Amino acid sequence: MTINSIEDASGLHCVDIMNHPDGTFSFKVFRKDPEDEGRWTLVGDYSGLRFQNENDVFREAAVRAPWLTDAITPGTAH
């Protein structure tokens, strides 16, 4: 189940954080291209990686989608 969906400032990139029934977390990375008429395109499926807590999943997601750090850090310029 997706518990958090975070977009970058441009609205063209997104990371979905998922929580699984066994209590672990994973994530997927998406982008939105004009030619796709506003639909999200999956560009990184990391749902096979499992993390024990939200901090760990956010840390790894930020490695795969570096813009995520700015999106979740209050007061960061975009």
What's the pLDDT tens digit per position in 18-48? 999 999 999 999 999 988 888 999 999 999 9
What topology is assigned to 2-71 in CATH?
Answer: Nuclear Transport Factor 2; Chain: A, (3.10.450)
Whole-model pTM? 0.87
CB 65 within 8 A of CB 14: no
Q: Measure the CA–CA gap between 78 and 67, rounded to whole angstroms.
A: 9
Domain boundaries, the chain: 2-71
59: which residues sit within 8 A by CB, 6+ positions away? none
